[in-house]
Structure 1
């Protein structure tokens, strides 16, 4: 993962984002978190009139027509080589990709996986439970594995695993009033990342988004990670001025 140098931070849009981004240290590893409150304009972005968006810049270009811009954003779920989402994707109430409930290869198929739902409040729901009783979501993205479920870690996470990457994901409060998005600033395994959500942030439910390509856009802290084109992107939307 690469970050733009401080010299380029001045080129980022200067916005008064309602969400708060900050650095938190847990077990000698720094994580950057961005917290969003229910009621803020949090959306998922994947495709526009010309096809898949793929970058924070493309999302901002699309939002410019509304006089809006991103307050913060990060990649939000796994995707195929053509950048189509691997599982469920709901954009503005429209299902763009169906939920997948079968076990499979890779991190996505490491059941239980889950869905991050943006409605009147936020929720992270295990995928099969979501499929049985789908809640009302304006936006939703499926990814996996689940990291924390009702305060318990995913049973297949290994404490001393040597599989470490820059990782990102989302956790929600028990009442659904807060969603906290996090990205590790160093390489971590799944177990430490899950414990960060549970033990450092006190969040009972958390979902993994991705690793290796994990990136954050947070102009309030002068950060704009660059890299390969992305699939689904989640972010807050604020006025440009």
Structure 2
């Protein structure tokens, strides 16, 4: 009878097991003549959070302020990005939930600016999943979100580009957004490295990254924190911020 030592058996089982979801990975890529930086997040392994106000009720405003707060927990950011539109006082324009507490209701109606260019959508972070929902679908399904931020317009809806995006559109900015896989096990945050149109940006999520749902987060104010790529973008004070949190010891 063939005998297999415990360590050898464990190695064999590890080879036979399905691969685990990939953890945070940031990289620079090019697609259709444009340059992008993306950070791919696996919510099953990466602790993804939203940040807006510090314990004193003051907006964080930048990545360094979030890191300073996390240091008290023995943690730090390994990735972060601005995460939705906000008013002058940095309060969110649309739906916002942080650590289970709703700070702003869902705004379903059409309005001015990119946020009101319907359909818009909601990024919902729940236990080990991240999903982008079109707003009316979000209201209908009422998913349970530990964190949520509403922005707009949607970039990709069920594999289709937003109907208002034109291939020859002339509005071009540095833009950032997020796309999610159908099962919620993958979220990809993207910022362009050159000015792009909405059509170009949305096409990258659908055709380049093969993601069925994607949401525009902002343009012109877009900022990224990705220390693995040497990025800690500065600029105007931000409203909502999304980021992956890790233990400092793990990072070291």
TM-score under structure 1 length normalisation: 0.91
The answer on 1:218 being equivalent to 2:226 is yes
Could you tell me which residue of structure 1 aligns to residue 168 of structure 2?
160
Secondary structure of 2:50's partner?
strand
Q: CA deviation at 1:174?
A: 1.4
Q: Work out the CA distance in 1 between the residues paired with 2:150 and 2:198.
A: 17
Q: Work out the CA distance in 2 between the residues paired with 1:33 and 1:230.
A: 20
Could you tell me which residue of structure 1 aligns to residue 18 of structure 2?
none
Higher strand share: 1
The answer on 1:201 being equivalent to 2:209 is yes
Could you tell me which residue of structure 2 aligns to residue 70 of structure 1?
77
CA displacement 1:53-107 (0-9 Å, x = unmatched) = 1100010011011000001000000000110000001001110111100100100
Q: How does 1:161-200 map to 2 (within 5 A)?
A: 161-200=169-208
Greater relative contact order (CA < 8 Å, ≥ 6 in sequence): 1
Q: Work out the CA distance in 1 between the residues paired with 2:117 and 2:26.
A: 30
Q: Work out the CA distance in 2 between the residues paired with 1:170 and 1:119.
A: 16
CA displacement 1:127-185 (0-9 Å, x = unmatched) = 11212221011100000000001100000011111100000000001111100000000
Could you tell me which residue of structure 1 aligns to residue 25 of structure 2?
20
The answer on 1:60 being equivalent to 2:67 is yes
Secondary structure of 2:171's partner?
coil
1:147 to 155, 169, 174: 155
Could you tell me which residue of structure 1 aligns to residue 133 of structure 2?
125
Q: Work out the CA distance in 2 between the residues paired with 1:200 and 1:174.
A: 16
Q: How many residues align?
A: 225
Q: Work out the CA distance in 2 between the residues paired with 1:145 and 1:30.
A: 21
Q: CA deviation at 1:20?
A: 0.3
What RMSD in Å do the two structures reach over aligned CA positions?
1.1
TM-score under structure 2 length normalisation: 0.88
Could you tell me which residue of structure 1 aligns to residue 36 of structure 2?
31
2:101 to 65, 78, 94: 94
Could you tell me which residue of structure 1 aligns to residue 11 of structure 2?
none
Could you tell me which residue of structure 2 aligns to residue 113 of structure 1?
120
Q: Which runs of 5+ in 2 are unaligned?
A: 1-22
Q: CA deviation at 1:38?
A: 2.0
Q: Extract structure 1 runs of 4+ deviating beyond 4 A.
A: none
The answer on 1:82 being equivalent to 2:79 is no
